[in-house]
Structure 1
Amino acid sequence: MSTVFVVGSLNIDQTIRVRSLPGPGETVRGSDAVYGPGGKGGNQAVAAARAGAAVAFTGAVGDDAHGHRILEFLSDAGVDCRHTRIVDAVPTGTAVIAVDDEGQNQILVSPGANSSLTTEDMDIPEGREGDILVLQLEIPAPLVRHAARRAKSRGLYVVMNAAPAPHEIENLFDDVDLLIVNEQEISLLAETAGVRATDHRDLVRSLPPVLGPAIVFTAGAEGSFAVVDGDLVHVPAHAVIAEDTTGAGDTFVGYLAASLLADRGDLVAAMELATRASALTVARSGAMESIPHRGEVLQAFDSPSPLPPQGCP
């Protein structure tokens, strides 16, 4: 059976609701903290599993209550965690998340056990042609590069979510087939690569010849964009009342990877399904816990046809 392999971070999320996000030097009174499983890698693995894919995860947690809770959640979601290590004397990674009344967030991450990962952990010996590797950047970039290189040598299709946005990109994308980025990330990549454009959507065309991989650009309420067969395709977002945007991008990545595993040639259909799923995530609170199952996603919205973006050739 073809598999989505995910290598990345696991965190316990400490979420505090606030009326508005604090500015520099500002103290804001919030709600009681709520703890839940998260981390970009773990979120994307759960999303791919709930989308219906076979999923295996590589990562690390501390030998503490938070770490064991996260592993139990992953296992219940159907994620194979045989390559996830429990590390002694190191806490599980932590993300402190402030969420305002509009559902927007600010996130501060302490890596904890995620920093214990090594190049030896990055090898996926059972991976083979037809499988997909999903990567993010909440673990050190040299490990991400190593994982991509090893996977590519075995014929895997490599998807990277360049988040958090990297400030150094030398050789980072050499073995990546598809890059998934939001508005902030695509802007920083363009600046780092010395590429100028009048519109973020133009970068979906102009960045791949410079960076290497194809790009899917997620633009929040505007939907997502990609170049397919030479044309810039726009998949509109679904209008929902935003409860919490935490995990929405990770849901998109996981669902997209699962869809591509089933049909590598239909990127637009994968974007449509991922867009539906991420909209449901935005309408819920939490990270892993907010990720919808495939059945919910298929019933939630009427499927739109991809539209040509306004003002783009």
Structure 2
Amino acid sequence: MSAKILVIGSSNTDMVVKTKEFPQPGQTVLGGSFLMNPGGKGANQAVAAARLGADLRFVAKIGKDIFGQQALEGFAREGLDVGFISKSDDLASGIALITVNESGENQIVVASGANMDLKPENLPDEIFKEVDVVLVQLEIPMDTVGYVIKRCAALNIRLVLNPAPATRIEDELLRHVFLITPNETETEILTGILPKDRASLHAAAQYLRHKGVENVVITMGKNGVYLCNESYDQIIPSVPVNAVDTTAAGDVFNGALVTAMAAGEDLRTACQYACKAAAISVTRMGAQSSAPYQNEIE
């Protein structure tokens, strides 16, 4: 039986348009199909973990609107513990506008709404009860992220930080992070080092480890992930697939990663498992809808 995982983060409704190519500034292009799906990095990661068998508690803030209600109904269907999700009196539920081109690449604009109203006072100590791993991202206020990181340090709970969307993070917070999972762009923003080869990957990871981060996993899309800690310094390859939509690949990876961690796997094995889950997700359209179930992973 896996230990309990706590995901604290954003919940959005994704409005997705498929198009042959992205428009240039000032240009209008005629797109193809339109989809409206549940999304948000926090919710995506929570659903991904739950579908893989995790005992999952999700904490977020939504608006008092149809999008928030639909999100709650979706979480219930996925079997998430949502007893600590709160509602904003003033802000609408988060919305993401997503364009996906024929290569499966995406462009995303987010109206955060109620996600930016998730405050430390919405996070009572009860949410951490019996929790082994906490996963948090940066689509909620930085003050709230900082509170979660420090609270996990005080409670001796492993904290996984997915630093997305990319921003600078204070050294005082980094030293309490058990595992950080930036992509290549986020790595450059965090460290000033663009990870373009093995040497620069190592340099960027060492920069973060010198700040106090215990484990570093740099995600590189189809090129796999780079794992660096006291035991490992290696690239773990991805699973080759024909991608149709990469929208939630990183979120599925993170959800699968903490699922394997909570099940007691070492980080190398956990990364391999997460790469398999992410590979399946990019062969499907949508965010949460693309997350695989445990029986789909070999």
Q: TM-score, normalised by structure 2?
A: 0.92
State the secondary structure of the residue aligned to 1:199. Answer: helix
Once residues 83 and 231 of structure 2 are traced to their aligned partners in structure 1, the CA distance between those partners, rounded to angstroms, is 41
Alpha-carbon separation, structure 2, partners of 1:129 and 1:122: 15
Amino acid at match of 2:139: E
Aligned length in residues: 293
1:25 CA displacement: 3.4
For 1:84-123, list aligned pairs within 5 A.
84-123=85-124
Question: How far apart are the structure 2 equivalents of 1:248 and 1:87?
Answer: 29
CA change 1:170–1:233 in 2 (3 A) is closer
**Where in structure 2 are there 5+ consecutive unaligned residues?**
none
Residue 288 of structure 1 corresponds to 288
Secondary structure at 1:80's aligned position in 2? coil
Q: Tell me, which stretches of 5 or more residues in structure 1 are unaligned?
A: 299-313
Partner of residue 274, structure 1: 274
- Determine whether 1:54 maps to 2:70: no
User: Aligned with 1:82: secondary structure?
Assistant: coil
User: Is contact 2:216-2:229 (8 Å) kept?
Assistant: no
The alpha carbon displacement at 1:134 in A equals: 0.3
What pairs with 1:203-282 in structure 2 (closer than 5 Å)?
203-210=204-211, 212-263=213-264, 266-282=266-282
Q: Distance in 1 between matches of 2:297 and 2:5?
A: 19
What is the CA distance between 1:242 and its match in structure 2?
0.8
Counterpart of 1:189 in structure 2 is 190
Query: After TM superposition, what 4+ stretches of structure 1 lie above 4 angstroms from structure 2?
Result: none
Distance 1:201 1:170 in 2: 19
TM score, norm. by length of structure 1:
0.88
The separation in 1 between residues aligned to 2:97 and 2:202, in whole angstroms, is 31
Q: Are 1:166 and 2:167 matched, yes or no?
A: yes
Distance 2:236 2:51 in 1: 22
Looking at structure 2, the residues matched to 211 and 229 of structure 1 have their Cα atoms a distance apart, in angstroms, of 12
| Pairing 1:18–2:23 present | no
* Alignment RMSD (CA, Å): 1.9
In 2, are the aligned partners of 1:173 and 1:213 still within 8 Å (CA)?
no
Distance 1:231 1:113 in 2: 39
Alpha-carbon distance in structure 1 between the residues aligned to 2:211 and 2:94: 34
Aligned to 1:177: 178
Change (3 A) 1:283 1:173: same
**Deviations, residues 186-218 of structure 1 (Å, cap 9, x unaligned):** 1111129xxxx9523442234311353421011
Map of 1:37 onto structure 2:
38
Output the CA distance in 1 between the equivalents of 2:251 and 2:69.
Answer: 21
Moved more, 275-284 or 231-240: 231-240
Rounded to whole Å, the distance in 1 between the matches of 2:131 and 2:85 is 23
Which region of structure 1 is more displaced relative to structure 2, 114-123 or 283-292?
A: 114-123
Q: Which amino acid counterpart does residue 263 of structure 1 have in structure 2?
A: G
Determine if contact 1:222/1:236 at 8 Å carries over to the other structure. yes
Query: Aligned partners of 2:296, 2:178: CA distance in 1, in Å?
Result: 29
Q: Is the 8 A contact 1:62 1:88 kept in 2?
A: yes
